């Protein structure tokens, strides 16, 4: 269950000032280590993957495929770790992009073809890696087959959105 506005603690002005100050410290120290691709990857790893799993589970529920959300979320984390940290960089390097995360590549030199190839391989692997989690998450065994198309659709939608976000991040600095 996601927190609602009633369960979130109120921020007083001192806490807000501290949060803003702490957020600005890296800028003041010129601590700009890492690429935007890498930082979004961290956000994706820690937060967005949870939201994607919740979305996929809720979508299946709306399509009358009762499921265990925690299994779907777990499958999302598993496939994201394997797909984004192993498969995408590997397949990206096959086409010449040896720096998938862009930490060492100069602005304007990022290999877009390698990125697209790596993300496509990651998407295909995601469908395969998450399928057992989907299958086990469905509460009503008679609805497992009925939900396969819906599973593929929801997975495709969430992967397309993430792909577009990563593409927007790297597009300006690519060739």
pLDDT digits (tens, 9 = 90+) for 98-151: 877 777 777 657 788 888 899 999 999 999 999 999 999 999 988 898 899 999
- What's the whole-model pTM score? 0.72
Q: DSSP state, 108?
A: T
In a domain, 21, yes or no: no
In a domain, 18, yes or no: no
Cα–Cα distance between 37 and 40 in angstroms, integer? 5
CB count within 10 Å of CB 58 equals 14
In a domain, 152, yes or no: yes
Burial of 77 (0-12, 13-18, 19+ CB in 10 A): middle
In a domain, 75, yes or no: yes
Position 74 scores a pLDDT of 96
In a domain, 106, yes or no: yes
Q: Provide the domain limits for residue 73.
A: 34-171
In a domain, 25, yes or no: no
Position 7 scores a pLDDT of 45
In a domain, 29, yes or no: no
Is residue 122 helix, strand or coil? Answer: helix
The domain total for the chain is 1
Residue 48 Cα distances to 66, 75, 116, 172, angstroms:
22, 14, 20, 23
In a domain, 15, yes or no: no
Cα–Cα distance between 20 and 28 in angstroms, integer? 12
């Amino acid at each position: 269950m996601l927190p609602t506005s009633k369960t979130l603690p109120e921020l007083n002005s001192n806490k807000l000032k501290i949060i803003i100050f702490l957020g600005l410290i890296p800028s003041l120290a010129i601590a700009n280590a890492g690429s935007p691709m890498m930082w979004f990857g961290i956000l994706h790893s820690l937060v967005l993957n949870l939201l994607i799993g919740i979305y996929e589970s809720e979508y299946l529920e709306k399509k009358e495929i009762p499921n265990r959300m925690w299994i779907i979320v777990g499958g999302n984390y598993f496939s994201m770790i394997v797909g984004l940290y192993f498969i995408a960089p590997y397949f990206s390097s096959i086409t010449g992009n040896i720096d998938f995360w862009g930490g060492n590549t100069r602005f304007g030199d990022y290999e877009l073809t390698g990125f697209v190839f790596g993300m496509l391989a990651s998407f295909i692997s995601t469908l395969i890696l998450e399928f057992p989690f989907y299958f086990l998450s469905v509460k009503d065994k008679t609805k497992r087959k009925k939900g396969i198309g819906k599973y593929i659709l929801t997975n495709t939608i969430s992967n397309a959105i993430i792909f577009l976000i990563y593409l927007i991040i790297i597009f300006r600095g690519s060739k």
